[in-house]
Structure 1
Amino acid sequence: MADRKSSSGSRLTVRRKEKAENEAKKEEKPPKEGEKPPKEGEKPEVNGKNAPVENGEAAAAAAATGAENGAAANGDKPEPMELPPFEIITGDRMDPFFFKFQFKNVEYSSGRNKTFLCYLVDQGSDSLLRGYIEDEHAGGHAEEAFFQQVLPNYDPACKYTITWYMSSSPCAVCAGKLAEVLKSRKSVRLAIFSARLFEWEEPEIQAGLKALAAAGCKLRMMKPLDFTYTWDTFVENDEEQFTPWEDCQENYEYYQDKLADILQ
């Protein structure tokens, strides 16, 4: 909905899969007992120092800095870098590589600067609405796009049971706007299952999640079984069986405890 802090700043267009592949090759450490995951987009520490985040965004920034320095040396004014237009990507099933990378409930979330939202909508009929939304670049978020593109028209006479499986929990602004939607649309029931908590230490994030829960939204972290269900339902898996990554259960329990502390 509004620009996310830190992890959702300017998103440069690069080859999406190559960026994800490069990020996935980096070593990812699950939260150790007593430790907390860093915020979205935060650089991991190596020997007490921040290690460089070698993603497409960082590489592009480095290239831009080099170009600027070169231009300055030549006495030329550097050309401003322009971002491509904002877009929301929707579909029926996502690429399996994107799912394994974006939904991983790891400690270090470098490169995961977008939101994947898988949805199920039951309107009391025989058929369900099912699909996923992915936000790109800076601008509106997947949560807002859902109500603009999937459910643009609200019928007060119809009951809506909506379930979201999200790569990360909503930002503060999204949580506030979702709470207003639930207050104004009394026949809408929303449950959000998130792989990771987004900037959960920030007071405004905690206030947004509390407001969302107070408006009737069910909030929970994704269990290993939820990842399996999402893989089977929303991913082009070619009938491949999903195998949870190491410490998937441990990381779920860690984040669930943090969410429970926020909502108590």
Structure 2
Amino acid sequence: MYRRKMRGMYISKRALRKHFDPRNYPRETYLLCELQWRGSHKSWQHWLRNDDSKDCHAEKYFLEEIFEPRSYNICDMTWYLSWSPCGECCDIIQDFLEEQPNVNINIRIARLYYADRASNRRGLMELANSPGVSIEIMDADDYNDCWETFIQPGVYYRFSPENFESAIRRNCSQLEDILQGLHL
């Protein structure tokens, strides 16, 4: 099942807290996207999730079913992912970028997806070396940006990334090792 952000719809604060806290290990992957076409002052936000009932990961679904090229201008996308892309999704993202060279993707991840699997580590390293791609672990500023962008204004809930700073540091260290090609 895929849920999409429509005009006036937001992700629930509970979903953001549960799925993006790197100390939790939920089954679903959430993808929050902010897209900006250069030359336009408006940005576009969208979100979706997969729940393993279909064999289509969130990244693949977004690129194949949601994203629509609308101009030849440069498109800058920021993805906030609750899990890093698997090796297969890394390949799909690379193929997409080869077909859409005017798209840049900044991928911010809450936690690493089966980082013990060589195919996932290799996929992340190759994707990070692709033109137009950056991959980083979400930091406190990213969590605050998600809260401000994808949660309905006026909703109060204390969401403190400082509470899981050690998990963020651990994931940063692990991603850095992967991107440097260590332990492939």
Q: Calculate the TM-score normalised by the size of structure 1.
A: 0.62
1:118 lines up with 2:32 in the alignment? yes
Return closer, same or farther for 1:166/1:219 CA change in 2, 3 Å cut-off: same
Say if 1:105 and 1:196, in contact at 8 Å, map to a contact too: yes
Q: How high is the sequence identity, in percent, across the aligned residues? A: 21
5 Å-filtered alignment, 1:142-153, equals 142-153=58-69
Residue matched to 1:231: 147
- In 2, the alpha carbon distance for the partners of 1:193 and 1:246 equals 17
- In 2, the alpha carbon distance for the partners of 1:123 and 1:99 equals 26
Q: Between Structure 1 and Structure 2, how many residues are aligned? A: 174
1:100 lines up with 2:14 in the alignment? no
Say if 2:143 and 2:161, in contact at 8 Å, map to a contact too: no
Say if 1:210 and 1:262, in contact at 8 Å, map to a contact too: yes
Say if 1:121 and 1:161, in contact at 8 Å, map to a contact too: yes
Unaligned segments of structure 1, at least 5 residues: 1-86
Displacement, 1:131? 1.9
- In 1, the alpha carbon distance for the partners of 2:28 and 2:22 equals 14
- In 2, the alpha carbon distance for the partners of 1:192 and 1:246 equals 21
Displacement, 1:249? 1.4
Residue matched to 2:116: 201
Equivalent residue letter for 1:220: E
- In 2, the alpha carbon distance for the partners of 1:249 and 1:206 equals 23
- In 1, the alpha carbon distance for the partners of 2:117 and 2:160 equals 29
User: Structure 1, residues 216-263: CA drift from partner, whole Å, max 9, x if none?
Assistant: 310000012211211111023634154315642111111001000011
> Which of 163, 168, 184 is equivalent to 2:83?
168
Say if 1:231 and 1:242, in contact at 8 Å, map to a contact too: no
Max radius of gyration: which structure?
Answer: 1
- In 2, the alpha carbon distance for the partners of 1:233 and 1:224 equals 14
User: Structure 1, residues 6-45: CA drift from partner, whole Å, max 9, x if none?
Assistant: xxxxxxxxxxxxxxxxxxxxxxxxxxxxxxxxxxxxxxxx
Say if 1:162 and 1:189, in contact at 8 Å, map to a contact too: yes
Displacement, 1:200? 0.9
Residue matched to 1:38: none
> Which of 173, 177, 182 is equivalent to 1:257?
173
Residue matched to 1:89: 3
Say if 1:228 and 1:242, in contact at 8 Å, map to a contact too: no
Say if 1:161 and 1:189, in contact at 8 Å, map to a contact too: yes
- In 1, the alpha carbon distance for the partners of 2:147 and 2:84 equals 18
Residue matched to 2:99: 184
Q: Calculate the TM-score normalised by the size of structure 2.
A: 0.87
Unaligned segments of structure 2, at least 5 residues: none
Once superposed, what is the RMSD of the aligned Cα atoms?
A: 1.8
Displacement, 1:193? 0.2
Residue aligned with 2:170, SS: helix
Equivalent residue letter for 1:102: H
Say if 1:105 and 1:248, in contact at 8 Å, map to a contact too: yes
